[in-house]
Amino acid sequence: MKTKKTTTEFQCPVCGSASREILDKRRIRGRAHVNAICGVCGMVWVVSRQPTKTYEKFYRSGYAVGVYGLKDGKEGLEEVLEWRVRRSREKLAKFDSDWESGSKVLEIGSGIGALLKYLRDEYGCRVWGIEPEPVFAKLSKEELGLNVFAGTFDRWSQKKPKGSPAKYDRIVLDQVLEHILEPVDFLERVVGVLEDDGKLFISVPNVTAPKDRQKDFFIFEHVSSFSPFPLWLLLARCGLKIVRMYAEKPGSLQVLATKFGSSEEMIDIEAVGKPQDKISILKRFNALEKHGNRS
């Protein structure tokens, strides 16, 4: 007899509030996928989540094919790599002075390895990666010559691969934080491997400036959807302060954060903006429905 798969309801993963409104509701992979917006901090998150193993299996079972059309080989790699390197260049351009030659960089969720390749080749950084998707990890190691651990951050932390530094000057979370089921716990552990004067670079889809229509934005693997204020609050809870922020219009929200106590000044709170509400976010998605996705 098959056991029924269960889901777990979560309160706001940033401020813990139970106050929420349903923002988006649809069926994905045969199950209800409900995104709510917090009535206190404006965080958007999936309120009913499947077991952790379900998400881990999803990433191990053809994620590379689903995202980029890559298979266990080099077919299509050159085109994908060219696009991803170009995108990495665009994201890092606003933070050009923060990537010093020789600095130790760890990317968690390094994907195909394009950003690490760019940091190694263009800035002279010493780079390491962690990637749970087997095809991505294999291609980045064999085709790009990158030092990538094939597995999750949890497994990497437990195993502590030989040759990996104990702490890093820079840690990168590029389009990763929106996938994390427990962001506070995760970031607190990330801070543990960041040098005291180190910097954390984060890029996440910005729910207040979406590039995709609503049905394409709220996808299965994205359990959190960030905007400036809840991201600022989440990082503060984990002992981090935003020192630089750039919001693409439309597109990703990119921030550079340091530990509290570092010499870097914290970004003016007015630049972060007030928490967004359901109506303001839905207006942006309605505009995309009317005019089409933005390039």
In order of start, what are the domains of the chain with their CATH numbers? 64-291 (3.40.50.150)
With residue 55 as reference, give the H or E element that holds it: helix 52-60
Q: With 0-12 CB in 10 A as exposed, 13-18 as middle and 19+ as buried, what is 187?
A: buried
Task: Determine if the pTM surpasses 0.95.
Answer: no
Q: Backbone phi, then psi, for 179, in 5-degree steps?
A: -95, -15
CA gap 6, 280 in Å, rounded: 33
Cis peptide before 250 (omega within 30 of 0): yes
Tokens found for residue 27: 């069926």
Residue tagged 């204020």 (tokens): 229
User: Please, which residues bridge with residue 263 across strands?
Assistant: none
Only one residue has tokens 């951050």, namely 153
Each residue's pLDDT expressed in tens, for the chain with a length of 295 residues: 344 445 567 899 999 999 999 999 999 988 899 999 999 999 999 998 888 888 888 888 778 777 777 765 677 888 889 999 999 999 999 999 999 999 999 999 999 999 999 999 999 999 999 999 888 999 999 999 999 999 999 999 999 898 899 999 999 999 999 999 999 999 999 999 999 999 999 999 999 999 999 999 999 999 999 999 999 999 999 999 999 999 999 999 999 999 999 999 999 888 899 999 999 999 999 999 887 665 4
Tell which residue, 152, 153, 228, has the closest CA to residue 188: 153
Distance CA 86, CA 82 (A): 6
Q: How far is CA 8 from the centre of its chain?
A: 22
Pair 130, 107: CB distance under 8 Å: yes
Bridge partners (DSSP) listed for residue 199: 170, 258
Q: Give me the residues paired with residue 27 across strands.
A: 32
Q: Which of 178, 172, 147, 177 is nearest to 161 (CA)?
A: 147
What confidence tens digit (pLDDT) does each residue in 161-193 have? 988 999 999 999 999 999 999 999 999 999 999
Measured CA to CA, the distance from residue 31 to residue 52 in angstroms comes to 15
